[in-house]
Structure 1
Amino acid sequence: MKVQKNLSIIFLFIIFHASTFAQKITIKLNEPGGLPHFGANVNLQKINSKKQLNAVSDLEGKAFFLLNEKGNYKLKITSVGYKSIEKEIQISGETESIEFTIEEDAKSLQSVVVTAKKPLMTQEEDKTIVDPEPIANTSTNSYEILEKIPGIFLDQDGNIYLNTTTPAKVYINGREQKLGPSDIAAILKSLPPGAIDKIELIATPSASMDASSSGGVVNVILKKGVKLGRTGTVSAGFNQGTFGNQFIGINLNRSQDKRSSYLQFNLNKRNSFDDTQFERLISTDDKPKKLNSSSYSVFPAYGFFTGLGANFDISKKLELGYDGRLNINKSESKIDNISKVVLMSNESVLSGNTNALQNDNFTYNINQGINGKYKFDSLGSMLKADISMDYFETNGGQNYSTNFTSPSIFLVSGHGDLLNKRMLFTSMLDFKYYFPHKITLEAGVKNTLLNFDGDTQFSIIKDGTIQTDNFRTNQFLYKENINAAYLQASKSFGKFLLKMGGRLENTRMNGHQLVPADTTFKIDRTDFFPYIYFSRKLFTIATYELRGYLIARRTITRPVYEQLNPFARFVDQYNYEAGNPGLKPQFSNNYEANISFENRPIFAIGRNYINDIFTSVVYQDKTNPLLSYRTYDNLGKNRETYFRAMGALPPGAKYFFVLGTQYNYNDYSGLLDNKPISFSRGSWSLFTYHQLKINKLTNISMHGFARFKGQMQFYELSNFGALNFYIDRQFFNRKLSVSANISDVFLTNRYDFSLNQGNISGNGRRLSDTRRFGVNLRYSFGQKKKSSDGMDFLDMGSGEQK
């Protein structure tokens, strides 16, 4: 006991002595353009001493040292493709951070190829940065990349969820798309997997981003011209389930002294199915009935994507850029539905019919953007301007037929033509300046103009007569103008960082339905959205920092034109979908606390208070109880509590393991169909990722998720999940990458659901074409460089250098 006591005293003395004299020094590295330089080797040696310390700059360009002595040190910085820096620096008691600009070395860049280890996820203040490269090799499109990111959940309608059960907004290159989830999913499915540079997951956006982000923001940053000389990749792949997906694409980059450019092409063919069964109770008299429906849908589609752009360094301070994208999609949906009305007492069939529905759509999306950046200094102070135009058009047709088989036999059929045009113009100006005394000021303005024109003409054939279908024929005009301005400032106080700001947004919406009835609605309102962010260093383990964050903000969710358009979209003889022009925006107050370990997110807990919540609901028709329709409505209030935890064990070189969990509890109260509702439900999610490095060229990986007691609006879901396995191998001096994968191995990504709200009571099941086997090929050519890095908390790279 005495020996143990003495050892404890000595141990505590050593820790106390180290903490008394130790000082953390930060070496900050910037590239000539002002961007942080990642992966440089930094060596620090005290003058007249043989002891050396080594570190590697992180994604923020920072290398950290814990020094026990003051005095003069010899600093040496090296990075492949860049000129080395050797300086003598003096460390005093007040020294905290030293900054350098590292310059490219054209001669060494010509003959060096380095394969990097990159962290999958890193934390930068209020956003998580995801590097898609480790999972791009096993994906056929960008949508599949999002599906494989640990902790992100995508439902079968195309919605993307982060921490909460409110869908996140999707941005591409920092620009909100203002499209419905199905349209955004179609765009992402047409993007090649190698087109994404990084993905920003922003669960709690600051005042610098749009206030309409209650569920957070997923910002997909596409690759642009990078300064790597002349490089390119050719990729192709397929996966096969009941149906299959195939793609082929090419990506070219070229850079010269002061300009860089890129060109991308991608062709894809995809197909899948959806199988849904639903049983709904019908109470029209003293004889309870039920409606049984079975729907099988097939979704073949073809897509073409091309992107091009260029960046110009006008001077050391001024940069200009252009990027353009063209998406073309030809899609079909073939839906066969069987419906029966059954008397519950004896299961006798009162009526029955079969429905056949076919949609043929041709859509194209053109995006053009010009951006500029002026840098005031090497610290990152800058003025950014961005102007973009986005045009989206859908030209399609629909054929449907309903064949009644009992109690009498007759046929009803019809045809429709639809033309939707959407024009979005966005301009924004952002200012950021780093003042002395660790003060940062941010300000900006933004203007968004949206015009939507929807024209749908339907005809119905009944008893051999063709006539206009007034129920489905619709013409709808919609205009939206949002003007915004924000101001926020931050200041560091030792271990603390405080950021406060606010955003003012003026919203103008004008909807005009011309057919079938002349109705209008207008919204003109101005709202203020405060934001506060507080960060504190909690403690340091060795040289790794544990940091805590507190965030409070107010947001708005505005209904989009699809949710406002009263046009009735035919599903089958007993179901249709329609918008609600009377929808009001919903407001959310969000409070969150989270913790990161060495800039890696590991824990978050928060609560949302939502007023005037609007969500998808199903109503029974007042005049015909057999008919139900899906729409959107304001219901009342929702209080959502959530927490998330994520960790990695063990951080070794051969084997990598990530495990995370998330819990959401929703408590609704309000009115549904003019009846009081009280609905609460908690759900768990688990997600994991494993990687085993067989050798320098071969990796085996697995990722999966599970959801328990899931929820989708007011639908209660059963337990479901999926496990996916991958193997990839590199050939020809790492220029060729070949991967094989199988998704949803045990066919568990299917679920049962129930709906018991208002006058709707029913249950069913849903499954899709999720179990697939695939092979991907990617060949890289040209000269390129990447930086090597040490072991990382969420590292998924190869870790090899040549």
Structure 2
Amino acid sequence: MSIHRIISIVFVSFAFFPTLQAQTIPLRIRLQESRQQPVVGATLQLTDRIDTTRHLYALTDTLGSATFQLSLTRTYSLLATSVGFKPIRKLIKPTTGQSVLTLTAEQDNIMLQGVSVTAAKPLLKQEDDKTIVDPEPIANTSTSAYEIMEKTPGIFLDPDGNVYLSSTTPATIYINGREQKMSAADIASMLKSLPPNSIARMEIMRTPSARYDASGSGGIVNIILKKGVKIGLTGSINAGFNQGRFGNQFAGININNTQNGRSAYLNVNYTNRNSYEEVQSNRNFTADSVLRQDAYTTYPAQVVYVGYGLSYELSRKWDVSLDGRFSWNQANSQASNDNLISQISTGRLLTENLNQVTNKNRLLSFSQGLNVKYKLDTLGSELITDISYNFNGTRGLQDFSTQYLLPERAGTSGDGNFTSQRHQLAAQVDLKYKILKAVTLETGLKTTGQYFTSDAAYFNLIGNNRLSDRARTNMFDYRENINAAYVQASRTFGQFLLKGGVRLENTNMDGHQRIPADTSFRINRTDFFPYIFLSRKVAKIAGYELRSYLIYRRSITRPTYDYLNPFARYVDQYLYEAGNPALRPQFTENYELNISVEDRPIFAIGRNHTQDIFTNVVYQDPQNRRIAYRTYDNLGTNRETYFRVLGAIPPINRYFFVVGAQFNYNEYSGVYENAPLNFKRGSWSFFTFHSFKIDKRSTATLNGFIRTRGQLQFYELSNFGVLNLSLNRKFMQDKLLVTLTANDLFFTNYYQFTLQQGSVVANGLRRNDTRRFGVTLRYNFGIRKREEKVNMFTIEPPNS
């Protein structure tokens, strides 16, 4: 008995209930050009509108025809593509009286030298439990992948590089389906080096299915890179700059080559950038004293980025692809922090000192992946194996000094050097198997191993002596292994689509602090994470189909080693950081209901309920109230309720827009500094994107957001927002694109903050170099091979 039959019998034995195969009819689709000649070798794709995971494929024969067996109770989306013609998109509803459907393909006369015109695609599209973002309208006005995310409606980024979707928990970043286990700052640096036109699409999964890691309680943003999708040799050269208080300059080249079932791409990009951050804060020491700090930091950096990939269609069943990324980052920073302690009642200045810190960092990042896909049948069943390796290494030097201005005394200074290395190896196997057409089974295994080492040595200069600084010197290593298995199944019931599954994850974490003291810890645990997704057609209004989606998911957020390590890390003489070895993981249950119109999301409402929530908190040192320390602590429970609305004009004619709003209401209940904690706050976010086609070669875009009563953990934020404007025009037969940009036009993307929890009372201002004006040039080049559309039964005499 074959393995396919065994799988079918086992699954059908516990399927939801027996299914009756719907009545089907044959439908022949014929594709012709304007002169009624057949279009040979065109690709036809039919997608079931109820079960969008089910696709039917065929190539047109010498008569331009292909035949499908279609259900009379279903509606299908047709996509017909052929080189030299514009794509055709059409909804098909099979009827007993129709056996042939003839379509006429329009020639794409502009498809020369790597320039092509395709049918307009929506900026945002809903596909089951994920939102698909077409980055093309935004890429033309952006300098990096980071900017694309900043300008995408419904995605919010904080100054630290964290990405937020529906909740106040940061989302997890994936690239090509692989999680990037790096800090938010490292991921932000990588995305700032990634060319904007190297992205094929972005997948936003606010409630990912059991197929994905359970650690993404804030959702997942999966960035899919282009992999040589055009026929022939094509590419682009880009260069530009933008200027704020400091300037950024960048240049790069992208090359794609696809022919005879083989694809290759190469992206090379160089960036020279600089920016600043200004943080002003006030924190009460006692009832009658306050510490005022004014910190100003610059971040000059030079980055070289290389991305590459190869893919092969070994046969109709086997696909193999290799892809990798290399990044070299020379990132420096120079910080100056003026500290003043004053008496509140009299305003008298008691103490003033100046801290100065210089960092010189060298960061090397390397990633390599191998993906093998085996197509089991023509219904969409497939077996995918993916193996990847990531390396991140850092070497840094630091010089620090303090000048004591009041009362005046001799200053102090010192230096340090540190290295860190992070190795990650991941392997997974995923099986998707179609059973009885209406049922899809998915299952898989995954293992991830991570090894991280860090060594930091600091010294104080006292007179002419360079002495070890035990308050900063440390060495540790950390090992992590997560093993996972999942199974989920989806099935259609008339107008309903039900998907359910469960994921099992076994977590093993082992940390060892070696210097200055042994603070080892070990965590071993196994958890289950259920997932349910239900979709149904609600109604059809004015020819537009409304669908509703109901989702439930359980997820986990694990504390990393930095959160658990209790060793005190010195920031300045008034602040230090320390981990909490007793920190427990937090678990979140998410419920969401959303509605879409013609695959475009318009409304969502949901709730996140988190137990043992841990967050960054600030406490005052019990031994010295002038000193505060930052740590992580489990504070109790959090209930977050949110809803989101989105409206849009489809991308037709000369103008389209997207406008939306999101409301988040958080309720914390627990214990803070051994006292009851009850914290409630609601915040609004409004976002928009507009595009206006001035003429055939010129387009203007406007995008921005406003956030009112914002929140960052327990920090209450003032109102802030941003407005970006851009204008692009094509020259030289549409091969040269010139873009003018103005980001944060009115310099409003900064906020004031207030923290009032327990004994800590603080407020301040945080501002970055966000207002920038720039110019980008992009030149498209290449040779596109056009298919010869020849009727093999007609022989033309040669030219004399």
**TM superposition score category, shorter chain reference:** 0.7 to 0.9
- The AA in structure 2 aligned to 1:57 is L
CA distance in 2, matches of 1:61, 1:595: 27
Q: Give 1:713's aligned residue.
A: 713
- The AA in structure 1 aligned to 2:190 is I
- The AA in structure 2 aligned to 1:768 is N
Q: Sort the Cα spacing of 1:162 and 1:293 in 2 relative to 1 into closer, same or farther, 3 A.
A: same
Query: Residue 137 of structure 1: which of 127, 140, 160 is its match?
Result: 140
Aligned residue for 2:221, secondary structure, equals: strand
Q: Give 2:323's aligned residue.
A: 323
Identity of aligned residues (%): 52
Q: Sort the Cα spacing of 1:109 and 1:696 in 2 relative to 1 into closer, same or farther, 3 A.
A: closer
CA distance in 1, matches of 2:555, 2:733: 50
Q: Sort the Cα spacing of 1:677 and 1:784 in 2 relative to 1 into closer, same or farther, 3 A.
A: farther
Q: Sort the Cα spacing of 1:128 and 1:36 in 2 relative to 1 into closer, same or farther, 3 A.
A: farther
Following TM superposition, by how much is the alpha carbon of 1:567 offset from its aligned partner in structure 2, in angstroms? 5.2
Answer yes or no: is the 8 Å Cα contact 1:363–1:395 preserved in 2.
yes
Q: Answer with 638-647 or 375-384: which moved more.
A: 375-384
Answer yes or no: is the 8 Å Cα contact 2:484–2:504 preserved in 1.
yes
TM-score calculated relative to the size of structure 2: 0.86
Q: Give 2:420's aligned residue.
A: 420
Q: Give 2:169's aligned residue.
A: 166
CA distance in 1, matches of 2:569, 2:90: 57
- The AA in structure 1 aligned to 2:532 is I
1:125 and 2:128 correspond: yes
Answer yes or no: is the 8 Å Cα contact 1:26–1:62 preserved in 2.
no
Q: Give 2:395's aligned residue.
A: 395
CA RMSD of aligned residues (A): 2.9
Q: Answer with 537-546 or 395-404: which moved more.
A: 537-546
Q: Give 1:690's aligned residue.
A: 690
Answer yes or no: is the 8 Å Cα contact 2:238–2:253 preserved in 1.
yes
CA distance in 2, matches of 1:112, 1:354: 57
Following TM superposition, by how much is the alpha carbon of 1:569 offset from its aligned partner in structure 2, in angstroms? 4.3
Q: Give 2:51's aligned residue.
A: none
Query: Residue 217 of structure 2: which of 205, 214, 218 is its match?
Result: 214
Answer yes or no: is the 8 Å Cα contact 2:557–2:587 preserved in 1.
yes
Q: Sort the Cα spacing of 1:304 and 1:227 in 2 relative to 1 into closer, same or farther, 3 A.
A: same
1:64 and 2:91 correspond: yes
Aligned residue for 2:520, secondary structure, equals: strand
CA distance in 2, matches of 1:682, 1:785: 56
Q: Sort the Cα spacing of 1:461 and 1:445 in 2 relative to 1 into closer, same or farther, 3 A.
A: same
Aligned residue for 2:189, secondary structure, equals: helix
Matches of residues 49-128 of structure 1 in structure 2 within 5 Å? Answer: 57=79, 63-66=90-93, 70-77=96-103, 113-128=116-131
CA distance in 2, matches of 1:651, 1:360: 47
Following TM superposition, by how much is the alpha carbon of 1:198 offset from its aligned partner in structure 2, in angstroms? 1.1
Matches of residues 16-415 of structure 1 in structure 2 within 5 Å? Answer: 29-30=44-45, 57=79, 63-66=90-93, 70-77=96-103, 113-283=116-286, 288-415=288-415
Q: Give 1:486's aligned residue.
A: 486
Answer yes or no: is the 8 Å Cα contact 1:588–1:608 preserved in 2.
yes
Following TM superposition, by how much is the alpha carbon of 1:516 offset from its aligned partner in structure 2, in angstroms? 1.1
Q: Sort the Cα spacing of 1:652 and 1:26 in 2 relative to 1 into closer, same or farther, 3 A.
A: farther
Aligned residue for 1:734, secondary structure, equals: coil
Cα deviation, 1:351-373, whole Å, max 9, x if unaligned, reads: 11000011111001111111100
Q: Give 1:679's aligned residue.
A: 679
CA distance in 1, matches of 2:785, 2:675: 64
Aligned residue for 1:242, secondary structure, equals: coil
CA distance in 1, matches of 2:666, 2:743: 31
Q: Give 2:16's aligned residue.
A: none
Following TM superposition, by how much is the alpha carbon of 1:568 offset from its aligned partner in structure 2, in angstroms? 4.4
Q: Sort the Cα spacing of 1:358 and 1:570 in 2 relative to 1 into closer, same or farther, 3 A.
A: farther
CA distance in 2, matches of 1:660, 1:336: 40
CA distance in 1, matches of 2:57, 2:302: 40
Answer yes or no: is the 8 Å Cα contact 2:122–2:650 preserved in 1.
no
Q: Sort the Cα spacing of 1:785 and 1:119 in 2 relative to 1 into closer, same or farther, 3 A.
A: farther
Cα deviation, 1:394-447, whole Å, max 9, x if unaligned, reads: 110111101111224221111111101100000000000111140000000000
- The AA in structure 2 aligned to 1:451 is Y
Answer yes or no: is the 8 Å Cα contact 2:282–2:292 preserved in 1.
yes
Cα deviation, 1:274-293, whole Å, max 9, x if unaligned, reads: 1111000112xxx6211011
CA distance in 1, matches of 2:126, 2:443: 23
CA distance in 2, matches of 1:590, 1:54: 31
- The AA in structure 1 aligned to 2:541 is I
Answer yes or no: is the 8 Å Cα contact 2:28–2:99 preserved in 1.
no
Q: Sort the Cα spacing of 1:650 and 1:383 in 2 relative to 1 into closer, same or farther, 3 A.
A: closer
CA distance in 1, matches of 2:250, 2:633: 40
Cα deviation, 1:168-225, whole Å, max 9, x if unaligned, reads: 0001111111111001111111111122111111000000000001000011111212
Following TM superposition, by how much is the alpha carbon of 1:55 offset from its aligned partner in structure 2, in angstroms? 8.3
Q: Sort the Cα spacing of 1:454 and 1:503 in 2 relative to 1 into closer, same or farther, 3 A.
A: same
CA distance in 2, matches of 1:294, 1:373: 55
CA distance in 1, matches of 2:539, 2:55: 28
1:461 and 2:468 correspond: no
CA distance in 2, matches of 1:58, 1:662: 37
Following TM superposition, by how much is the alpha carbon of 1:575 offset from its aligned partner in structure 2, in angstroms? 2.1
Answer yes or no: is the 8 Å Cα contact 2:114–2:235 preserved in 1.
no
Q: Sort the Cα spacing of 1:56 and 1:320 in 2 relative to 1 into closer, same or farther, 3 A.
A: closer
CA distance in 2, matches of 1:352, 1:449: 48
CA distance in 1, matches of 2:216, 2:415: 38
- The AA in structure 2 aligned to 1:63 is K
Following TM superposition, by how much is the alpha carbon of 1:110 offset from its aligned partner in structure 2, in angstroms? 9.6
Answer yes or no: is the 8 Å Cα contact 1:43–1:75 preserved in 2.
no
Cα deviation, 1:758-784, whole Å, max 9, x if unaligned, reads: 221010011111111011111111145
Q: How many equivalent residue pairs?
A: 726
CA distance in 1, matches of 2:617, 2:237: 45
Aligned residue for 1:135, secondary structure, equals: helix
- The AA in structure 1 aligned to 2:707 is R
Aligned residue for 2:279, secondary structure, equals: strand
Higher relative contact order (CA 8 A, sep 6+): 1
Q: Sort the Cα spacing of 1:145 and 1:196 in 2 relative to 1 into closer, same or farther, 3 A.
A: same
- The AA in structure 2 aligned to 1:434 is K
Q: Sort the Cα spacing of 1:393 and 1:414 in 2 relative to 1 into closer, same or farther, 3 A.
A: same
Following TM superposition, by how much is the alpha carbon of 1:581 offset from its aligned partner in structure 2, in angstroms? 3.3
CA distance in 2, matches of 1:743, 1:323: 33
Q: Sort the Cα spacing of 1:675 and 1:516 in 2 relative to 1 into closer, same or farther, 3 A.
A: farther
Cα deviation, 1:555-599, whole Å, max 9, x if unaligned, reads: 000122333344544433312333333321100011000011111
Answer yes or no: is the 8 Å Cα contact 2:153–2:689 preserved in 1.
yes
Cα deviation, 1:589-621, whole Å, max 9, x if unaligned, reads: 110000111111111100011011111111212
Aligned residue for 1:603, secondary structure, equals: strand
CA distance in 2, matches of 1:325, 1:599: 33
**Unmatched 5+ stretches in structure 1:** 1-22, 45-52, 83-107, 787-802
CA distance in 1, matches of 2:393, 2:372: 28
Q: Give 2:509's aligned residue.
A: 509
Answer yes or no: is the 8 Å Cα contact 1:604–1:644 preserved in 2.
yes
Q: Sort the Cα spacing of 1:460 and 1:254 in 2 relative to 1 into closer, same or farther, 3 A.
A: same
Aligned residue for 2:98, secondary structure, equals: strand
CA distance in 2, matches of 1:578, 1:221: 37
Answer yes or no: is the 8 Å Cα contact 1:141–1:191 preserved in 2.
yes
CA distance in 2, matches of 1:247, 1:573: 39
CA distance in 2, matches of 1:351, 1:463: 24
